[in-house]
Amino acid sequence: MSDIQIKKVGLEDIADLQSIGRQTFAETFSEGNSEEDMKQYLEEKFSVSQLKSELSDDNSMFYFALVDTNIVGYLKVNLGNSQTEIKDKNALEIERIYVIKDFHGKSVAKHLYNKAIEIAESKNVDYVWLGVWEENARAISFYKKNNFLEFDKHIFKLGNDEQTDIMMKLHLNK
């Protein structure tokens, strides 16, 4: 397989971000959710105005994973008050790591994860945290393999459906 490149996403990439975001979220969660809830979530969370707002936030960063010139996954991290739940200035949230299904098992997620850890270390945060759907065994396994520990749960709303996310944390060695 070709080298995986990581590229910071800018406002000029909004159409590509919307496309990869909708595709990977649908591939990951359509099977376990209603069509109506999925449609509502995809329209709200991946609208141009929502993505423009997130891309304009200095405490949120997006990165594409590219194979050749094809976008095959993406990462979103948040710092400070842009974190979705824990607003600890000494923490970094991995809000999203998503990879196109055809590229699962090809180290794309690992490259995106490594970028998140690199950012966390450069910002000198104490820990990295995230929420992962309790039914997403693949993602839970990935994070456990990377030394994340479960520490809490929270509710994630997908359309009208309230789902439980497992919150996981990785303390960084300083």
Which are the catalytic amino acids? 143
Single-letter amino acid code for the residue at 53? S
Joined together, the tokens standing for residue 161 give: 């459906």
Other CB atoms within a 10 A radius of the CB of residue 162 amount to 9
Greatest Cα pair distance in the chain: 46
Task: Return d(Cα 59, Cα 92) in angstroms, integer.
Answer: 10
Among 117, 125, 118, 59, residue whose Cα is nearest residue 90: 125
Joined together, the tokens standing for residue 9 give: 């996403």
Contact 155, 104 (CB under 8 A): no
Among 112, 29, 15, residue whose Cα is nearest residue 64: 112
Q: Tell me 140's DSSP state.
A: H
Q: Point out which residues pair with 157 in neighbouring strands.
A: 162
